[in-house]
Structure 1
Amino acid sequence: MREQEKSITLLGNQGTKYPQDYAPEVLETFVNKHPDNDYFVKFNCPEFTSLCPITGQPDFASITISYVPGERMVESKSLKLYLFSFRNHGDFHEDCVNVIMKDLIKLMDPKYIEVWGKFTPRGGISIDPYCNYGRPDTKWEQMAEKRMLWHDMYPEKIDNR
């Protein structure tokens, strides 16, 4: 079995157990076959749910994760299970996107990553937190700064989701 395949235990596993609370330990990586190429990998999770830490009411969002991989990449089924683990987890919207980003940085040390949550309105207002990171002392750190400064200059049409 190739080295890359040894580190993946969830993909193809028919006995998958869904975590009942925040579970960063389910995240798995595999070797990036093209670490010398700069390219984006984008995940869209339109059915993200978490709980309000005060009221316990569910919050719904579309979470977008875009990253430029380094040596390792996140395995998509493990990411799905990880994002599912927020379902019964109480955190504010801003905390959710920052925790997701920090867990993925710790897991795979990407060159660049950004996480954007577009939460459905509750109480007549929606919250769309955005965070990013670029590897220090590289062009990616500079890119992170520029994308942060310009990230929402042309917001999308609000359609009440």
Structure 2
Amino acid sequence: MSDRKDVERLTHLGSEKTTYTFEYNPQLLETFDNNHPNRDYFVKFNCPEFTTLCPKTGQPDFATLYISYIPDKKMVESKSLKLYLFSFRNHGGFHEDAVNVILNDLVELMDPRYIEVWGKFTPRGGISIDPYVNYGRPNTKYEEMAEKRLLYHDMYPETIDNR
């Protein structure tokens, strides 16, 4: 077993009794300490099974979410992130709102140096919506990085093969 105190307080990881919450719940998110806070590096999550509900029709919307961040002192634990994202299942919100809420919750949770969330939603009615949002810590090089990445985030779009 680990002697790290930050790992001991994780409640979801390793639990044999996972409870899935069907309503939006940011309290599901948990952190652990970054063992390399002296270095900039990206952590990227690819979440191909994200679902939320259209706030008007109640129909499900499906997306692949890409969450990338440069941690500072805290990092998000992946199982807690999975459970948190699952909590959007019965949550009514537009695509643009969902990615902004996720970003806001993760900034509040971790206070990362930089973070971005990109939702690539499957088409409905012949149109897809792919909102992108980012954040760089104010008054740092990461704020400048966020501005540049926002301006150029889709300059070289990848081949879409999931639609």
**How high is the TM-score relative to the length of structure 1?**
0.97
Provide the secondary structure at the position in 2 that maps to 1:118: strand
Q: Which residue, 36, 44, 48 being the options, matches 1:34? A: 36
Alignment match of 1:101 (pick from 103, 115, 128): 103
Distance (Å, rounded) in 1 between the aligned partners of 2:111 and 2:129: 28
Gaps of 5+ in 1: none
Equivalences for 1:67-146 in 2 at 5 Å? Answer: 67-146=69-148
Q: What residue number does 1:51 align with?
A: 53
CA separation in 2, counterparts of 1:158 and 1:41?
22
Shift of 1:158: 4.0
Q: How big is the shift at 1:2?
A: 2.2
Q: Is the 8 A contact 1:29 1:72 kept in 2?
A: yes
SS in 1 for 2:45: strand
The one-letter code of the counterpart of 2:59 is: Q
Q: How many residues align?
A: 161
- Structure 1 CA distance for aligned equivalents of residues 93 and 33 of structure 2: 32
- Cα RMSD after superposing both structures: 1.0
Partners in 2 of 1:21 and 1:73 — Cα distance? 23
Tell me the amino acid that sits aligned with residue 34 of structure 2. Answer: N
Query: 1:15 matched to which residue of 2?
Result: 17
Q: CA deviation at 1:157?
A: 2.9
Letter in 2 for 1:97: V
Residue segments in structure 2 that go unaligned for 5+ positions in a row: none
Residues 51 and 91, structure 1, Cα contact 8 Å, conserved in 2: yes
Per-residue deviation at 1:20? 1.4
